[in-house]
Amino acid sequence: MIALIGDRIVGIATLHFGEGPARHRAEVRIYISKEVKHRGLGSRLTLAIIDLAKKRSIHLLEVQIVSDMVEVIKAFQKVGFEPLCTFEEYFMLPDGELRDVVQLILRLRRVEDEF
């Protein structure tokens, strides 16, 4: 999905579907342009991606966020994502500096829902 202002892309949200034994999962990736941050666009794109995942019968959504992006982590938690774990020194900046990454998940279907 993309968000436009005029003909300029200011937001992108994508789902990356698992295959084989991971076919019930999808990874969420969202990019929001600096000039439109803190206006709710990220939340709207996230909710739209969640709706799309439900229509595709995805059970579990995953997102990985650099741990010092606290506001982004909180935004995902507001729509139901829960922190699962932290990967230490998992993300490398262009200058070689390493950052921890928090993995959050959103269960769209629980195992007990199947029986």
Could you tell me which of 86, 78, 88 has the C-alpha nearest to residue 102? 86
Spacing of C-alpha 88 from chain mean position: 19
DSSP state of 54: H
- Per-residue model confidence (pLDDT) at position 115: 47
Could you tell me which of 25, 5, 24, 4 has the C-alpha nearest to residue 13? 4
- Per-residue model confidence (pLDDT) at position 114: 54
Q: Give the CATH number of domain 2-114; options: 3.40.630.30, 1.10.3720.10, 3.30.300.90, 3.90.79.10.
A: 3.40.630.30
pLDDT in tens, 79-104: 999 999 999 999 999 999 999 999 99
